[in-house]
């Protein structure tokens, strides 16, 4: 069959509501890293799903943040806003268990964009009394004229087919925009850096994840073995000591977890070398951010 419909779907919401989880579940593979901590997704990431007659291009975005003091937060809010303007359909995700003032911030942005918006109420697996959702849904209906309101559990892939089918109804007619076997716009190097960053986020506590970024310096892929060298950038000497850990144990743990997942991605053995280096206050400095790839 040939593709008759295609278009872009922006996935928007405050941090931690499950945007990246939803993308991965719809695509059936891990395109975008996830974690219980905010600021996990820093970039705009495409996940492309091609069925027999529809090509849907999902755009995962960083969460919309209230705090615009730091260059990193401003950068992430800009990404979220510009993605909305380029999309054919917007998915606005909220957490079924709580509405926060940042959700209102997102809603304000949506009012300015004039696109069909599907409200996705996520994490319904955590709602014990499902009947309690109904008055909540009624209230949300008064806030905005949504094209649809769909409760899901992204984690359990619950009700995602109905979401996908409503999305495809709203897409414009058109040919495939990407090769039919392509699933993301990101390079392998990018995906590897993100896997390392995900393990780092899980392994370290509190503020540290926001102060780190990963840069791939060496990448040599051969049939059976891939050699990778990566730098973990932190903002201060003290953070460097934390990432390395006592006797290097923390860095070793991050390396082992990352290596296993990269081996699955590449289907080769992987030799992974990690360094930790300091670049002072890089998240608060537009120039330092650009030098690390945050354009």
Ligand X SMILES: Nc1nc2c(ncn2[C@@H]2O[C@H](COP(=O)(O)OP(=O)(O)O)[C@@H](O)[C@H]2O)c(=O)[nH]1
Are 88 and 63 in contact by the 8 Å Cβ rule? The answer is no
CA distance 89 to 254: 37
Beta-strand ranges (E) seen in the chain are 5-12, 45-50, 54-60, 89-95, 117-122, 148-151, 213-221, 225-234, 269-278
Question: Which of ligand X, Mg ion, none interacts with 21 (beta carbon under 5 to 8 A by kind)?
Answer: ligand X
Looking at the Cβ atoms of 199 and 279, the one nearer to Mg ion is 199
Contact predicate 234/243, CB 8 Å: yes
Contacts of 260 (CB under 8 A, 6+ apart): none
Residue 21 binds ligand X, judged by CB under 6 A: yes
CA 260 – CA 278 distance, rounded (Å): 26
CB nearer Mg ion, residue 19 or residue 259: 19
| Residue from the set 6, 20, 56, 212 that interacts with Mg ion by CB under 5 A | 20
In 10 A of CB 271, how many CB atoms?
12
Shortest CB 76 distance to Mg ion, Å: 10
Rule CB under 6 A: choose which of 45, 56, 59, 63 binds ligand X. 63
- Under the binding rule (CB under 6 A), the answer on residue 6 touching ligand X is no
Residue number, 34 or 226, with CB nearest to ligand X: 34
Q: Does 17 bind ligand X (CB under 6 A)?
A: yes
* Among ligand X, Mg ion, none, partner that 36 touches (CB below 5 to 8 angstroms by kind): ligand X
- Closest approach of ligand X to the CB of residue 17, in Å: 5
Site residues (vs ligand X, CB under 6 A)? 13, 15-21, 34-36, 40-41, 63, 122-123, 125-126, 153-155
């Amino acid at each position: 069959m040939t593709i008759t419909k295609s278009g872009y779907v922006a996935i928007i919401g405050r941090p931690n509501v499950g945007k990246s989880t939803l993308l991965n579940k719809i695509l059936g593979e891990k395109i975008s890293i996830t974690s219980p901590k905010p600021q996990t997704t820093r970039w705009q990431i495409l996940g492309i799903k091609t069925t027999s007659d529809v090509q849907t291009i999902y755009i995962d975005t960083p969460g919309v943040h209230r705090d615009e003091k730091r260059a990193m937060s401003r950068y992430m809010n800009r990404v979220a806003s510009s993605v909305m303007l380029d999309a054919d359909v917007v998915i606005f995700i909220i957490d079924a268990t709580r509405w926060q003032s940042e959700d209102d911030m997102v809603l304000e942005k949506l009012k300015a964009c004039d696109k069909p918006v599907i409200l996705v109420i996520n994490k319904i697996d955590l709602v014990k009394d499902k009947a309690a959702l109904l008055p909540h849904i009624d209230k949300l209906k008064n806030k905005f004229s949504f094209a649809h309101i769909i409760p899901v559990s992204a984690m359990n892939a619950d009700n995602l087919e109905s979401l996908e089918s409503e999305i495809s109804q709203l897409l414009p007619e058109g040919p495939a925009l990407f090769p039919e076997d392509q699933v993301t716009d990101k390079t392998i190097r990018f995906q590897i850096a993100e896997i390392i960053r995900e393990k780092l986020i899980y392994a370290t506590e509190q503020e540290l994840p926001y102060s780190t970024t990963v840069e791939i310096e060496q990448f040599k892929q051969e049939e059976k073995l891939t050699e990778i060298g990566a730098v973990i950038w932190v903002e201060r000497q003290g953070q460097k000591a934390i990432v390395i850990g006592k006797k290097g144990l923390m860095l070793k743990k991050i390396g082992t977890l990352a290596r296993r997942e990269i081996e699955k991605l590449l289907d080769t053995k992987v030799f992974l070398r990690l360094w930790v280096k300091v670049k002072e206050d890089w998240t608060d400095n537009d120039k330092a951010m650009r030098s690390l790839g945050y354009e």
